[in-house]
Chain A
Amino acid sequence: MVVQTPNGFNLDNSGQRIVVDPVTRIEGHMRCEVNVDENNIIRNAVSTGTMWRGLEVILKGRDPRDAWAFTERICGVCTGTHALTSVRAVEDALGITIPDNANSIRNMMQLNLQIHDHVVHFYHLHALDWVNPVNALRADPKATSELQQAVSPSHPLSSPGYFRDVQNRLKKFVESGQLGLFKNGYWDNPAYLLPPEADLMATTHYLEALDLQKEIVKVHTIFGGKNPHPNWLVGGVPCPINVHSTGAVGAINMERLNLVSSIIDKCIEFNKNVYIPDVKAIGGFYKNWLYGGGLSSQACLAYGDIPENPNDFSPEQLHLPRGAIINGNLNEVHDVDPRDPEQVQEFVDHSWYSYGEAGKGLHPWDGVTEPKYELGPNAKGTKTNIQELDEAGKYSWIKAPRWKGHAMEVGPLARYVVGYAKGHEDIKDQVDGLLRDMNLPLSAVFSTLGRTAARALESEYCGRLQKHFFDKLVQNIKNGDESTANVEKWDPSTWPKEAKGVGMTEAPRGALGHWIKIKDGRIENYQCVVPTTWNGSPRDTAGNIGAFEASLMDTKMERPEEPVEILRTLHSFDPCLACSTHVMSPDGEELTTVKVR
């Protein structure tokens, strides 16, 4: 039976059902089911979050100054971004302002995360959807060297001998019979289109990126003491600055600044010499594979981030843009207000929760989460051995957030679509330049490949911004300001009896918001609405499908039993399931009654 969704997709679940569980190379646990027609084209898509941890109920009653550490553990991949969102929410609630240096350091840490996350995503989670390392064994190292020099003349690692060494290592690895992570891959699937030389170049960069990523994160280690999970502070940053006097060795001093500066340069260089050229080179071979646009051409949401000045989150002050696009109208960018009870709402009709009342949407400040695990009447299998889900019933641990009732895409592509529509100069230059280089029309942006390319462009842009805030920090220190924390309201006795606040960031995967209510110095309610909750959401009350589901529609699969195309498009969102499924209630009493085995 064909059903048209309010957001314009024709769903037909009559064809062969394909189940992918686990979806791998993502953060957390996810399941995907699709129906394909007789031509192996996807006509129905069902995306399911398959984990739930209940972090927000755990936060209830705790010290708001500790919340960053709890929420940071929502995700160790986008590590730090939840912590930043959390300290912003607490500061918003209590009216705490932060010093200029703290803003620069926080921005550097957030930008550093964007770059690290995008690089690791592209090379270690996503590349194997486009790149075939086994095919790289057939490459001519000399021709690979020529390809490398053609696509990136200034990358120093490009000699034939270098590629021969990598190829030999790969060869022995494959010949050992122990294929490790490459075991059971889809290496003879016709969906892989790269010539062997491009496969060898990209596989080599898989290894180079693995070495580089451990350098990138040292910015977190310097300012936050460790990575993953650096330390943060309500009111500023925990790292004091001392560049002139006694004891400077125990603080941010000249040596630490030099180390930060050298890492920033490494990021810029890698983006320029490796990441961007690879995306262009690989994309060039796939430029006729323009599936996967989904919601990106019609509904995009961004909260914006990276404030130029401390404590000013007005849209014109943000380097990453804020705004919402709906109904495919790029000529109008709507303003976004996270406090407005009518804008962001979550629905649970198809999620494993209950509001007690069907069809209800709740703003996060008033959010409720009562788990209710049940399968729809047409599901196959049992409750603890699911064969096929019934999407007409409840089918995911992810809620369905909507903006003014619309299912939205968030993430690098959404940010770039909003930025482009707003005429953001840097973003427009980057997008137009890439399209020109690749000889593609603007419409090509709305695709799986567009999502992957937007992430690379953003990594490049964030590299430049990271440098900007480093220079700003140094200039401010030169001007005599070494302050990093505002402790006026550190003591809870200075707080009002009741307060509520919102913190917003652009996490690597998209718009992230934390909503907090504080009472008598303790957390009364804490709610997070995270990027993968938006992108991975199940259907809502009205039947709108979410971004993951929409993006899979109408894609042709080469071999339905080998989910290369499904993985390719899902990975282009960089799903993070631990983030999306941490959700919790303001009042977790119900939870204590769930069955204990």
Chain B
Amino acid sequence: MSQIETFYDVMRRQGITRRSFMKYCSLTAAALGLSPSFVPKIAHAMETKPRTPVIWVHGLECTCCSESFIRSAHPLAKDVVLSMISLDYDDTLMAAAGHQAEAALEETIEKYKGNYILAVEGNPPLNEDGMFCIIGGKPFVEQLRHAAEHAKAIISWGACASYGCVQAAKPNPTQATPVHKVITDKPIIKVPGCPPIAEVMTGVITYMLTFDRLPELDRQGRPAMFYGQRIHDKCYRRPHFDAGQFVEAWDDENARKGYCLYKMGCKGPTTYNACSTIRWNEGTSFPIQSGHGCIGCSEDGFWDQGSFYNRVTDLTQFGVEANADKVGMAAAGVVGAGVAAHAAISALKAAQKKTQSHKEEA
């Protein structure tokens, strides 16, 4: 094999100075929430590593994950694809088709046994012997199992691969099944969301390349660095929640003032994701900022939790709704009740999580 080019080589060749390269490394560190002491480590990794082969397969999906991925601003998608990884199979973007595409898959598996990353977008349907999703005349689930066998690790992109998403919503007619229910002997990193945030996707890949290990995962298998906190915890409208200032109807005066969307069904209080911090499309905005509540798209089974416009409290026996209403009617500044309401929601979420993990174990 001819000499493999490292990420640093690529940057230097493009006329990027050592100084700019180091700046890039600091930005990467900052984007990942790492301290400056990590910068030399990142630089070292990028100077010495060849591009890691990635096989990206597609099951039942809508391709929003791929679309999100190419929106990444730091790093740019083109730099990821040209300089950081070697995307050896991806039916959405690759030049070859048919036999030549299948050959590319086989060659990559053979050549890099145990050393490639398998990225899965979408999920396999198990009904009809798997033939609700056909690749090369065979069920997709076969391709998935085959590619997983020698993978170093698997990334489950988005809500489909992580949890099932829309095609798995009741009654799940195709028996669309998340990846971890089919592949049980490999490390799997779930990157949920419909789709996940672009920079979270590239952040997960960059982390693995840089530190040569999987990111720390929470009990559901999500990278803790991006999914460790609720949208509500870091929402810039949070002070309005605490102050009891809520939007009461679409386009009312409170909506125009940017008050809290909790009463309009916002799922921010029960959704673990980085939307309110990293935001979307190069930090341009996120759902709550644009005026619509969060629909909770990175949570397991979010399609089957009632209407997106129901308050999250509808799901529970807690008295949160009554509290929030009282607060809304009272003069702004009754902070105490708002905080109490919030504490109740936190308790609710903890209870939900318990039920969820209980279900998973079952």
Q: Which residues of A contact B (CB under 8 A)?
A: 19-29, 31, 50-55, 57-58, 62-63, 65-66, 69-70, 73-77, 79, 120, 124-125, 128, 165, 168-169, 172-173, 175-186, 207, 210-211, 213-214, 217-218, 220-231, 233, 235-236, 238-242, 245-251, 259, 371, 373, 381, 383-387, 397, 482-485, 487, 490, 561-563, 567, 578, 584, 588, 591-592, 594-597
Contacts and interface: CB of A to CB of B under 8 A. Distances in A.
Given A75-B62, A180-B81, A21 B136 contact: yes
Interface in B253-284: 255-259, 275, 280-282, 284
A58 to B, nearest CB: 5
A304 B142 CA distance: 42
20 contacts: A21-B134, A27-B62, A55-B166, A75-B62, A76-B67, A178-B86, A180-B86, A213-B70, A213-B71, A221-B290, A226-B275, A226-B281, A226-B286, A226-B290, A238-B290, A250-B237, A385-B137, A482-B256, A490-B250, A594-B127
Nearest to B71: A214
A532 to B, nearest CB: 13
B251 A484 contact: yes
Interface string B285-301: 11111111001010000
Contact of A217 (B71, B85, B170): B71
B309 A210 contact: no
B95 A182 contact: yes
B73 interface: yes
A575 to B, nearest CB: 12
B129 A181 contact: no
Contacts of A23: 97-98
A245 B256 CA distance: 9
A481 to B, nearest CB: 12
Contact of B96 (A24, A222, A482): A24
A62 B309 CA distance: 12
B93 A22 contact: no
Nearest to B258: A250
A596 to B, nearest CB: 6
Given A29-B58, A221-B281, A242-B256, A70 B166 contact: yes
Given A172-B5, A218-B284, A385-B137, A20 B97 contact: yes
B137 A487 contact: no
A249 B258 contact: yes
B351 interface: no
A251 B256 contact: yes
Interface stretch (B99-107, B213-221, B336-344): B99-107
Q: Which 6 A-B pairs have the closest CB atoms?
A: A250-B258, A76-B64, A247-B257, A225-B287, A185-B95, A225-B290
Contacts of A385: 137-138
Contacts of B53: 178
A240 B166 CA distance: 28
Contact of B250 (A21, A245, A250, A485): A485
Contacts of B58: 28-29
B104 A228 contact: no
Interface of B: 1-5, 9-10, 13-15, 50-51, 53, 58, 60-68, 70-73, 76-78, 81-82, 85-88, 90-104, 107, 125-140, 165-167, 169-176, 194-195, 198, 237, 249-251, 255-259, 275, 280-282, 284-292, 295, 297, 303, 307-309
Contact of A226 (B63, B107, B287): B287
A28 B131 contact: no
A24 B94 contact: yes
Contacts of B308: 65-66, 69
Given A79-B67, A231-B292, A128 B95 contact: yes
B62 A578 contact: yes
A386 B138 CA distance: 7
Interface centre among A29, A65, A183 (most CB of B within 10 A): A183
B282 to A, nearest CB: 7
A100 B198 CA distance: 33
B295 A236 contact: no
Interface centre among A168, A178, A210 (most CB of B within 10 A): A178
Interface centre among B4, B64, B170 (most CB of A within 10 A): B64
Given A23-B98, A236-B250, A250-B259, 11 more contacts: A20-B98, A21-B134, A21-B135, A25-B94, A29-B135, A75-B62, A214-B198, A226-B287, A245-B256, A386-B134, A487-B249
